[in-house]
């Protein structure tokens, strides 16, 4: 068994919002064609999944507007270095925890979370992160 070191996210409340940190630097150019293509495919699939589930979200949004209540969500992700024998499972648990704990449903917020995972971890884990993110979102939103 190999000992992998990965960074997984935990969730805490903070005074910074997702909108403030919209731009993140791009990944390294080690495998740009495959990584970029996989990243694009995951982004498109997330958009499609969110569009398919929009009906209930639009109805809930209209009800909130009628009540005059809008809430601002603040999320801070804390990176933790972790030694792992199964990074795929650790990423899966971490992504699932982040989406559920922060009630992330919008495509923009899911993209932001994905970018955070990719940016915080070694480029060696980009493929695993993309696959796990797709698996988790498929189970949650389809």
**Which domain, by its residues, includes 60?**
4-16+32-141
Pairing of strands 4-12, 76-84: antiparallel
Q: Kindly state whether residue 42 falls inside one of the protein's structural domains.
A: yes
Burial (CB < 10 A; 0-12, 13-18, 19+), residue 131, is middle
pLDDT range class, residue 140, cuts 50, 70, 90: very high
Domain count, the chain: 1
What is the per-residue pLDDT across 22-39, written as a single tens digit (0 to 9) for each? 443 444 444 455 566 677
Q: Kindly state whether residue 22 falls inside one of the protein's structural domains.
A: no
Decide: 116 and 24 in contact? Cβ < 8 Å: yes
Q: Tokens 């995951």 — which residue?
A: 42
Measure Cα distances from 49 to 46, 53, 58, 91, 97 in Å. 5, 6, 15, 20, 19
Instruction: Tell me, yes or no, if the pTM score tops 0.95.
Output: no
Per-residue pLDDT, 19: 42
Q: Kindly state whether residue 27 falls inside one of the protein's structural domains.
A: no
Q: Kindly state whether residue 132 falls inside one of the protein's structural domains.
A: yes
Q: Kindly state whether residue 23 falls inside one of the protein's structural domains.
A: no
Structure tokens given for 109: 């917020």
- Tabulate helix, strand, coil % of the chain (nearest 5): 60, 15, 25
Q: Kindly state whether residue 21 falls inside one of the protein's structural domains.
A: no
Q: Kindly state whether residue 73 falls inside one of the protein's structural domains.
A: yes
Per-residue pLDDT, 27: 42
Q: Kindly state whether residue 60 falls inside one of the protein's structural domains.
A: yes
Q: How much of the chain, in percent, has pLDDT values that exceed 90?
A: 35
Rg of the Cα atoms in the chain:
16
Q: Tokens 């990965």 — which residue?
A: 6
């Amino acid at each position: 068994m190999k000992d992998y070191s990965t960074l997984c996210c935990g969730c805490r409340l903070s005074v910074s919002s997702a909108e403030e940190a919209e731009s993140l630097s791009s990944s390294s150019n080690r495998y740009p064609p495959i990584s970029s293509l996989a990243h694009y495919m995951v982004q498109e699939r997330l958009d499609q999944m969110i569009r398919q589930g929009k009906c209930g979200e639009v109805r809930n949004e209209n009800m909130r507007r009628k009540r005059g209540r809008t809430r601002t969500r603040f999320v801070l992700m804390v990176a933790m270095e972790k030694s792992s024998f199964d990074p795929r499972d650790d990423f899966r648990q971490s992504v699932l925890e982040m989406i559920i704990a922060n009630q992330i449903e919008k495509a923009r917020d899911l993209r932001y979370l994905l970018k955070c995972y990719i940016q915080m971890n070694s480029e060696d884990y980009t493929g695993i992160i993309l696959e796990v993110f797709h698996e988790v979102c498929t189970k949650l939103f389809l």
